[in-house]
Amino acid sequence: MKLNLNMKPSELPLITIRNLRKTFHNGKTNNEVLKGINLDIYPGQIIGYIGPNGAGKSTTVKILCGIIPDFEGDIKVFGQDLKTHALEIKKRIGYVPENGALYDLLTPKEYLTFIGTLYGIGAAALEKRVQHLLSFFGMEKYADQRMDTFSKGMKQKTLVMSGIINDPDILFLDEPLSGLDANSVILVKEMLTQLAANGKTIFYCSHLMDIVEKISDRILLINDGTVIADGKFEELKTEQSATLEQLFAQLTGRQKENFSTDALFNSFEEN
């Protein structure tokens, strides 16, 4: 089942991906994670990138962000080739990693200033921007505390701030809501819709189906290294699958496993 209902010929795509393949080598064994992905992504969209664990979501995002520089296929971002113009592209994108990687011995202020300097933002402008971000996320109180004692949510907020500090045109987020409390979830959701309204493109991976269903303009479902569904939720849903969760289960072929919990409980009874 392959749907591509989001063609907007009037606009030029922001990202074009053609035949993207990625294989990891480990000695003699090869592991093909991405098996030929083709996509066009247009400005101002919120794209929910979903798929089972190990489907290749993070690998796609890491390739698009330039963390994995070595891949097969063609990727153009802002009309430039990612392989040859990675630096120019990186200046205009933001990334929020999934595993909470940051220097936790720094304070949020120090960390954001460090990242901002790497983007080449001037000192005066940077200070203002950092102040702005900290107050938007309600983090002024903690601005000068080292992050090693922070909760997961507070670190996540800092990561989101560092992802948008360069005012990116495209923002990639990998599980951005994990560890956030309910208020922060609302905050980040609002931020994402606002950014999209201002013409920014959001590309995010998540396992939270209800949120993906609500805020995405376009949903991409990846399974086993290929895109198996692509479109608005309203277009994708069928009679059997009224929610994204059900659709997900139906398309990734897990519905039988998911609902055969009887077998699981039987195995307990045997002992």
Partner 1 sequence: MVDFSLFFVRLFRKLIQLWGVDYQQFETLLRNNLILDFRRSHSLHKSSKKQKNPFIKQLVIFTFIGGFVEFSLYSIHDILLNLTILYAIIMVMLATTLINEFTSVLFDERENDILLVRPISHRTFFLARLMHIQFYVGYIALALSLLSGIVLAIKYNVVIMAVYFIGVGLSAWITLLFTIFFYLALSKVVKGNKFKDFVTYVQIFLAVVIFGGYQLLPRIVNTNSMKHIYMSVHWWTYFIPPAWPAGFVKFFTFNGTTGMLLFFVLALAVPFLGAIVVVRFLSRGFGNILGQSTVDESSQIEKKSLKEKFSDNMNRLFCVTDMEKEGWKITMKTTRRDRKFKQSVYPMLGIIPVMAIIMLKPDFTDITGSIHKMGDSYRYLYFIFLGFFGIMGIFQLPYTDTPEASWIYKALPFNQHGHLISGAVKALLYKFFFPVYSLLILFSVLVWNIRIFPEMLLGGLLTVFITLIMVIFQKMELPFTQAREMQQKGDKILILFLGMFSMGAVAGLVYVSSFLPYWGILALSILVVGMIVWANRSIRTKKYGVI
45, 48, 62, 218: which one binds partner 1 (CB under 8 A): 62
Please tell me whether residue 124 binds partner 1 under the rule CB under 8 A. Answer: no
Q: Are 133 and 22 in contact (CB under 8 A)?
A: no
- Residue 94 or residue 231: which is nearer to partner 1 going by CB? 94
The CA dihedral of 18, 233, 59, 68, to the nearest 10 degrees, is 60
Please tell me whether residue 101 binds partner 1 under the rule CB under 8 A. Answer: yes
Instruction: Kindly indicate which of the ranges 36-44, 111-119, 193-201, 241-249 contains the residues binding partner 1, using the contact rule CB under 8 A.
Output: 111-119
Please tell me whether residue 102 binds partner 1 under the rule CB under 8 A. Answer: yes
Among residue numbers 217 through 236, which ones bind partner 1 (CB under 8 A)? none
Please tell me whether residue 58 binds partner 1 under the rule CB under 8 A. Answer: yes
Q: Give the closest residue to 112 by CA, choosing from 166, 70, 74, 71.
A: 166
Instruction: Kindly indicate which of the ranges 95-103, 131-139, 179-187, 229-237 contains the residues binding partner 1, using the contact rule CB under 8 A.
Output: 95-103
Write the DSSP string, 167-236.
--SEEEEESTTTT--HHHHHHHHHHHHHHHHTT-EEEEE-S-HHHHHHH-SEEEEEETTEEEEEE-HHHH
Q: Are 121 and 129 in contact (CB under 8 A)?
A: yes
Please tell me whether residue 49 binds partner 1 under the rule CB under 8 A. Answer: no
Please tell me whether residue 12 binds partner 1 under the rule CB under 8 A. Answer: no
Instruction: Kindly indicate which of the ranges 29-37, 202-210, 225-233, 247-255 contains the residues binding partner 1, using the contact rule CB under 8 A.
Output: 29-37
Number of residues binding to partner 1, judged by CB under 8 A: 39
Please tell me whether residue 122 binds partner 1 under the rule CB under 8 A. Answer: no
Q: Are 168 and 196 in contact (CB under 8 A)?
A: no
| Element of type H or E holding 60 | helix 57-65
Q: Give the closest residue to 100 by CA, choosing from 48, 143, 147.
A: 147
205 φ, ψ (degrees, to nearest 5): -100, 140
CB of 71 to partner 1, least distance (A): 9
User: Which of the 8 DSSP states describes residue 149?
Assistant: G
Q: Are 218 and 189 in contact (CB under 8 A)?
A: no
Instruction: Kindly indicate which of the ranges 62-70, 187-195, 196-204, 225-233 contains the residues binding partner 1, using the contact rule CB under 8 A.
Output: 62-70
The residues of the shown chain that bind partner 1, judged by CB under 8 A, are 24-27, 29, 31, 33, 54, 58-59, 62, 65-70, 87-88, 90-91, 93-95, 97, 99, 101-103, 105-106, 114-115, 117-120, 146, 148
